[in-house]
Each structure stands twice: as C-alpha cells, then as structure tokens.
A = this chain, B = another copy of it.
Amino acid sequence: MTEWLTDEQQEAWRGLLQMTTRLNARLNRHLQDEHGLSLADYEVLVVLSEAPENRLRVFELIDELGWEQSRLSHHLVRMQRRGLVERIECPTDGRGTFVALTRRGLAAIEAAAPSHVDAVRTLVFDDQPADQVAALAALSATVLDRLDGPRAAAARSPA
C-alpha cells in the first residue's frame, strides 16, 4: 500500500528541503551582519509594517506567519526587550493583546528591507521563468490549504 515518490517528486522534494535550509541560513546571516536582525525578526516586522496602524493581535500575527503560539510569544519578549515592538492591551477583549511596531522597529525594517529584498530577488527570482514562479505560488497555496485541513479549506472556498 506504500508508494514511494517518483523521481521527479523526489528531486523536487530534496531540492525544496536543501534550498530552504541554505536560503534561510544565507538570508539570516546577511540580515544579522548588515542590520542586526534575524530572518524571524524581519518576518515579524514586515507583517506589522503592513498592518493598519502598524499593529495586529497576536493571533493575527500567528496566522500571517504560520508560527506556533509559544514561539511567537517568546520571540516577542526578545523583540520587545530590544525595543522593536511593544505590547498593548486590547480594550475590547481583556484576554487579547496587540503587538505594535515601535518607532525603532519601523526604522529597523525600513533600513533592512532594501538590501534584504535585493538578496531575495538576486538569489531566488531574477531570471526565473514567470511560469516557474507562478507554479511555486500555486503549489504553496495548495499545500497550505491541505495543511489547514478540510474544514478550513471548505471555509475558504465554500460550495
């Protein structure tokens, strides 16, 4: 009953694993060296910088990032210590917390973005056939749907 992967699938899978491992390592070092940020920091900052008033509820951040609750919570402690974000109590829900970009956090992401984006473009996207990029986007979307499970997928695209 067990099927193995085809050669093409195998190649794609190993390639994906290696690519993400090494790409993360490279982008991490780059951001760290040039701007004192980790890739994780950067991802949090980007999402916040795009949110209305530069702030989101913790669960919204989790949803955007795909992280686990406690990872984000610990990470926010460290980022707050460094003055990159601040926590704000939610006025309408006593259980909730907003996470907001500080002036310092905004400055950090604005300083880091250009060269980071440049690295991503150079390493990943430059001179790639448009259909390959589209395929990656499509495949990711499908996989994310599957990870959410049947219920969530149904909620997103109701009959």
- Interface positions of A (Cβ within 8 A of B): 2-5, 8-9, 11-13, 15-23, 25-26, 43, 65-68, 114, 117-118, 120-125, 128-144, 146-147
Q: Which of A11, A12, A13 has most B Cβ within 10 Å?
A: A12
Interface class of chain A by DSSP = helix
With the chains together, A114 CA to B144 CA distance in Å? 22
CB pair B8–A137 under 8 Å, yes or no, is: yes
CB pair B2–A117 under 8 Å, yes or no, is: yes
Contact partner, A124, options B13, B65, B124, B132, Cβ 8 Å? B13
CB pair B9–A121 under 8 Å, yes or no, is: yes
8 closest A-B pairs by CB:
A15-B140, A135-B135, A2-B114, A12-B137, A18-B66, A132-B135, A19-B140, A12-B136
